[in-house]
Amino acid sequence: MRILHTSDWHTGLTLKGQSRLDEQIAVFAQMVAIAREEKPDLVIVSGDLFDTAAPSAAAQKTFTRALSALRNTGADVVAIAGNHDSGAVLEAWRGWAEAAGISLRGALGKASDHVIAGTTAGGQRWKVAALPFISQRYALRAAELFALTAAEADQSYADHLRRLVAQLAQSFDDGEVNIITAHLTVVGGTLGAGEREVHTVGDYVVPAQIFPPQASYVALGHLHKAQKIVGPCPIHYAGAPIAVDFGEEHHQPSVTIVDVTSTTPARVRTVPLTKALPLVTVKGTLKELEQTEVPPEAWVRVVVAEAPRSGLRAAVTELFPRALQIQIDPVLQAGHATASPPRRAGRHPQELFDSYLTEQGHNDQAVSKLFADLYDDTQTVAAEEK
């Protein structure tokens, strides 16, 4: 059978206030064209279907049309929620999805509800263990729903995920192509520089060994860079189909194509996605920037190596009309005598808060931990409580 693996769509994404929806529509159209050419039996979308838990009507329309178009190529479609999605909302769409022949899993349920089975036109049976994103605070609830013992429930996040995956893998059969799709961070993965770090570091990282050797392919989402993970079975991140911010400007978005049978190992390759507009960062003095060329369609970040002055922004904007971000680089400011403030751009909120505590002479680990818990709550959709 053939699988088209994609992930981290972030439908409805904006960058510095600029909507990227038109780009995403073009990328999804290219993805559908690839599906028509490659003729996959199964399409897997491994989470972060939207960029926010409350997507706009336009984003929802774009998403449902993209899923329907992929289904209309003749492929079965399986999609799961990521940490940016509202699992409860996606569960509310399951009636529509099932009517359209799409398997959508948003929130945690019984183990049996997360196992999806099918057969290709050529007669190859397949099974997908579909595990949507589970936050640390809901790992215990997951243990309860999957009927784990009290001793098994009193474990770390990684231990919970290991046991949940093991429960799902119990349904695997040697005569089938056994697939796992999940939205999480695995040890050895390279961050794409655009992910929200709260769910990619520390307690949220799990070892590749949680996946069983009998898995034919593990389709992961969460890290935005397409990559292979070394483990007991074939494990791959499909990466995001569009660079979500300037930290990902050097990535080549793609979809992952997998050919596999129940008796032969997975053969994995990528097909580039080229319809998104490029993101480009340029640096230098105003004179140097005047000599810098960028693609006319690119979104631009400009780092100016000069001290702030009246009219500087206007001059930069005239050079780069599509500049979404203009900032002064204090490191490159020649002769700038004023002490540069600590860099904030690109730093994780936890790091900024800890720096603030240190500056205030109140480096209290308990307060730092409380901030981490509160920040986790604000970044995690809590709708599962319902």
Distance, in Å, from the CA atom of 303 to the CA atom of 316, rounded to the nearest integer, reads 10
Helix 57-71 vs helix 21-38: crossing angle, to nearest 10: 10
- Predicted pLDDT of residue 70: 98
Contacts 24+ apart (CB under 8 A), 139-143: 141/108, 141/384, 142/108
User: What average pLDDT does the segment 238-256 reach?
Assistant: 93
Answer whether residue 93 shows pLDDT above 90.
Answer: yes
Q: What pLDDT, in 10s, does the model give residues 24-80?
A: 999 999 999 999 999 999 999 999 999 999 999 999 999 999 999 999 999 999 999
- pLDDT over threshold 50, residue 138: yes
CA distance 240 to 217: 19
Q: Are 326 and 306 in contact (CB under 8 A)?
A: no
pLDDT at 354 over 60: yes
Q: What is the mean pLDDT of residues 115-140?
A: 88
pLDDT at 9 > cutoff 70: yes
Query: What is the pLDDT confidence band of residue 340, given thresholds at 50, 70 and 90?
Result: low
In the chain, pLDDT over 70 holds for what percent of residues? 83
pLDDT at 231: 95
Cα separation, 55 vs 164, whole angstroms? 29
Average pLDDT over residues 129-138: 83
Q: In what order do the strands lie in the sheet with 76-80?
A: 102-105, 76-80, 42-46, 2-6, 254-259, 267-272
Compute the distance between CA of residue 18 and CA of residue 99 in angstroms, rounded to an integer. Answer: 34
Closest CA to 178 of 230, 236, 217, 232: 217
List the one residue out of 227, 180, 233 whose CA is nearest residue 208: 233
* C-beta of residue 251 within 8 angstroms of C-beta of residue 271: no
| Cβ(382)–Cβ(83) below 8 Å | no
Hey, where are the domains in the chain? 2-272, 279-379
d(CA 373, CA 28): 36
Nearest to 78 by CA among 119, 128, 36, 113: 128
Sign of the torsion angle spanned by Cα atoms 181, 80, 91, 116: negative
Please check whether the domain covering 2-272 is classified as CATH 1.10.10.10. no
Calpha distance 249→93 (Å, rounded): 33
One-letter amino acid at 145 equals L
Which pLDDT score, from 0 to 100, does residue 308 have? 81
CA distance 383 to 386: 6
